[in-house]
Amino acid sequence: MTVHPPLEQIPADILAAADYEDRAAQHIPPPTLAWLAGGSGTEQTLRANREAFITVRITPRLLNNFQTASTCQSLCGTSLEHPILLAPVGHQQLLHTEAERAVARAADATGTCMVASTLSSLPLEDVCAATAASKWFQLYWQPRREDTLRLLSRAEAAGYQAIVLTLDTPVQALSRRAHIAGFRLPSDTPPNLAECKPLPQRALAPGQSILLHGMMSEAPDWDDLEWLVTQTRLPVLAKGVSHPADAVRLKTLGVAGQIVSNHGGRSLDGVPASLHCLAAVREAVGGNYPLLLDSGIRSGTDVFKALALGADAVLIGRLQGYALATAGALGVAHMLKLLREELEVCMALAGTPTLSDINPGCLMGD
Ligand code: FNR
- Give how far Cα 102 sits from Cα of 122, 326, 339, 365, Å: 11, 12, 18, 41
Of the candidates 109, 111, 110, 165, the one whose C-alpha atom is nearest the C-alpha of residue 136 is: 165
DSSP, collapsed to helix, strand or coil, labels residue 127 as helix
Q: In whole angstroms, what is the distance from residue 197 CA to residue 244 CA? A: 34
Establish whether residue 261 lines the binding site of ligand 1, counting it when its CB lies within 6 angstroms of any ligand atom.
yes
Residues serving a catalytic function are 263
Q: Name the more confident of 332 and 210.
A: 332
Q: Would you place residue 222 in the very low, low, confident or very high pLDDT band (cuts 50, 70, 90)?
A: very high
Residue 168 in contact with residue 219, Cβ under 8 Å? no
Please give the number of the atom of ligand 1 that sits closest to the Cα of 295: 27
Q: Name the more confident of 203 and 27.
A: 27
Q: Which residues contact 206 (CB under 8 A, 6 or more apart)?
A: none
Please give the number of the atom of ligand 1 that sits closest to the Cα of 88: 21
Please give the number of the atom of ligand 1 that sits closest to the Cα of 46: 31
Establish whether residue 166 lines the binding site of ligand 1, counting it when its CB lies within 6 angstroms of any ligand atom.
yes
- Taking the centre of ligand 1 as the mean of its atom positions, its distance from the CA of residue 90, in whole angstroms, is 8
Q: Which of 121, 140, 263, 339 to mutate to test the pocket of ligand 1 (most atoms within 8 A of CB)?
A: 263
Mean pLDDT of 196-214: 89
Establish whether residue 46 lines the binding site of ligand 1, counting it when its CB lies within 6 angstroms of any ligand atom.
no
Establish whether residue 58 lines the binding site of ligand 1, counting it when its CB lies within 6 angstroms of any ligand atom.
no
Q: Which residues contact 244 (CB under 8 A, 6 or more apart)?
A: 280, 281, 283, 284, 285
Tell me which amino acid residue 202 is. Answer: R
Q: In whole angstroms, what is the distance from residue 258 CA to residue 274 CA? A: 13
Mean pLDDT of 137-153: 97
Q: Would you place residue 67 in the very low, low, confident or very high pLDDT band (cuts 50, 70, 90)?
A: very high
For 79, the enclosing helix (H) or strand (E) is strand 78-80
Mean pLDDT of 119-140: 98
Q: Which of 165, 236, 266 to mutate to test the pocket of ligand 1 (most atoms within 8 A of CB)?
A: 266
Establish whether residue 264 lines the binding site of ligand 1, counting it when its CB lies within 6 angstroms of any ligand atom.
yes
Establish whether residue 138 lines the binding site of ligand 1, counting it when its CB lies within 6 angstroms of any ligand atom.
yes
Q: Which of 124, 318, 324 to mutate to test the pocket of ligand 1 (most atoms within 8 A of CB)?
A: 318
Domain borders along the chain are 19-60+69-182+219-355
Establish whether residue 139 lines the binding site of ligand 1, counting it when its CB lies within 6 angstroms of any ligand atom.
no
Sign of the CA dihedral running 246, 247, 252, 258: positive
Q: In whole angstroms, what is the distance from residue 108 CA to residue 88 CA? A: 16
Of the candidates 113, 56, 34, 51, the one whose C-alpha atom is nearest the C-alpha of residue 296 is: 51
204 pairs with which residues across the strands?
none
pLDDT digits (tens, 9 = 90+) for 314-323: 999 999 999 9
Q: Would you place residue 366 in the very low, low, confident or very high pLDDT band (cuts 50, 70, 90)?
A: very low
Q: In whole angstroms, what is the distance from residue 227 CA to residue 68 CA? A: 43
pLDDT digits (tens, 9 = 90+) for 318-349: 999 999 999 999 999 999 999 999 999 999 99
DSSP, collapsed to helix, strand or coil, labels residue 85 as strand
Q: In whole angstroms, what is the distance from residue 56 CA to residue 53 CA? A: 6
CATH class for the domain made up of 19-60+69-182+219-355: alpha beta
Predicted confidence (pLDDT) at residue 19 exceeds the cutoff of 50: yes
- Give how far Cα 324 sits from Cα of 92, 183, 190, Å: 8, 19, 19
Count of C-beta atoms within a 10 Å radius of residue 62: 7
